[in-house]
Amino acid sequence: RAAVIVAIDGPSGTGKSSTSKAVATQLGLRYLDTGAQYRAITWWMVNNGIDMDDPSAIAAVAGKPEIVSGTDPSAPSITVDGTDVAGPIRTQEVTSKVSAVSAVPEVRTRITGLQRSIAAGAENGIVVEGRDIGTTVLPDADLKIFLTASPEARAARRNGELKGADVNATREALLKRDAADSSRKTSPLAKADDAVEVDTSDLTLQQVIECVVTLVEEKR
Ligand code: C5P
C-alpha cells in the first residue's frame, strides 16, 4: 500500500482540525496542523518584539525560530526552540497577529519547506490541514478536501471552544481573519480546482469524518 497524502483546507471554524485528527487516527496516518506552525512563528515574533506592522522586519527573522511539529494525531505537539507552545499559540494576541505574519512570503517559504519534508517522511501517509495545502504545499496530494460552513455555524463552533465569548465578536474576528487570508498575494486561502468541497453547516462532526474516510478509502 502506497503512502496516501490528504490535504484538508478551508476557512476557520469549519471543523478542519477535529476532522483531520479523527481521519488520521482511523486510517493510521500521521497528522500535521499547519496553522499551528504559523501560530508558532507568530508567537516567537511577538515574544521577540518584532514589529508586526513591518513585513521586512518579519521577513528578516523568518528563518530564526526552530519549529518542530509532532505528527501523532492522538497527541499532536509543537515546540519553538525546544519550548512547548501548544497553549500559548491559541491566545487572542497570537490569533489576531497570525494573518499578518503568514502573509509574508519569506515566512511561507520557510514553513512550506518544513511541511513538505514532514509529508515526505510520513511512511503510511499523512493528513495535512491548512489554507493552501491543496493549491501550493502539496499540489499532488491523493485527495483534496475543501471544508466550508456558514459564518453562523463557524462562529457558534468557535464559541463552543472559547467559553463565554460573545458570538458576534467571534464571528467578526473570524471573518476578518478569513478575508485577510483569502486576499493575500502569496498562496491565499483557496479551493484547489480538483478539491472536493464539503459544506459542514448542517453535518455533525461524525458525518464529516465518515465522508472524508470514505473518500480516502476510494483513493487507496
Ligand atoms: O488553522 P488556524 O486557524 O490555526 O490557522 C491560523 C492562521 O495561520 C490562519 O488564519 C492563516 O493566517 C495561517 N495559515 C496559513 N496557511 C496555512 C495554515 C494557516 O496562512 N496553510
- Going by the annotation, the residues of the binding site are 10-18
Residue spans per domain, the chain: 4-219
**Span 59-80, average pLDDT:** 98
Q: How far does residue 2's CA lie from ligand 1's centre (Å)?
A: 29
Q: Ligand 1: does its nearest atom lie under 6 Å from the Cβ of 184? A: no
The three cell numbers locating residue 16: 478542519
In contact, 136 and 112? CB cutoff 8 Å: yes
Atom of ligand 1 minimally distant from the CA of 103: 20
| Per-residue pLDDT tens digits for 138-154 | 999 999 999 999 999 99
State the pLDDT confidence band at 162, using cuts at 50, 70 and 90.
confident
Q: With a cut of 80, say whether residue 157 has pLDDT above it.
A: yes
Ramachandran class of 26: left when φ > 0, alpha when ψ lies in -120 to 50, beta otherwise: alpha
Residue 129, helix vs strand vs coil: strand
For 111-142, write each residue's pLDDT tens digit: 999 999 999 999 999 999 999 999 999 999 99
| Class of 4-219 in CATH | alpha beta
